[in-house]
Amino acid sequence: MIKRIPSKRPTVFIGIMILAALVLAACQPATTQLPAATQNAAPVLSSSTTAAPQGEVTLNIANDPKLGNILVDGKGMTLYMFTKDEPNKSNCAGDCLTAWPPLLAVDNPSVGEGVDASLLGTAALPDGSKIVTYNKLPLYYWQADTKPGDTTGQDVNKVWFVVSPDGKPVGMK
């Protein structure tokens, strides 16, 4: 009589499939639309922001097929303004700064062709870093923009807008 030894292959296969599903779930991108509470966070800045200060910051103009001329950084990444900010004061805090990393500078920022240098400046954040401002409004990136030319943060929660070369929000109603 031959005695059969139970196979462990189905158990191992199921374990591998569960592990693969968990790895794939962890690799999925975060949603691009955060809840309104996250976008309108209380004005208490975290002690560390998600963007590292850049030594040399240059603002340029790019032409977006849908939005027209907009401000971008030296690498072509779109810059945004938060309509709840005040002149030279950021009101984005906590999770807001994670989703909308500020454009920080170590040195004074500069302008590319067509950008109005008289509108460019910086403002101090509570942690001592300098956020770049344009028309006295702080500038930010959007976490879901992954390459130059992306404008996925436009009109998020009706308070985030790309910035025109004249320092105004594009498409704000």
Three-class secondary structure of residue 154 per DSSP: coil
Stated pTM of the model: 0.70
Phi then psi for 153, rounded to 5 degrees?
A: -90, -5
Give kind and range of the element (H or E) at residue 60.
Answer: strand 58-64
Predicted pLDDT at 134: 97
pLDDT digits over 102-134, tens only?
Answer: 999 988 889 999 999 999 999 998 888 999 999
What are the extents of the domains in the chain? 45-162
Rounded mean pLDDT of the chain? 78
Whole-angstrom distance, CA of residue 50 vs CA of residue 103:
10
Other beta carbons less than 10 A from residue 120's beta carbon: 20
Q: Is the pLDDT of residue 66 over 90?
A: yes
In the block, residue with structure tokens 């599903």 = 21
Query: Residue 110 is inside which H or E element, if any?
Result: strand 110-111
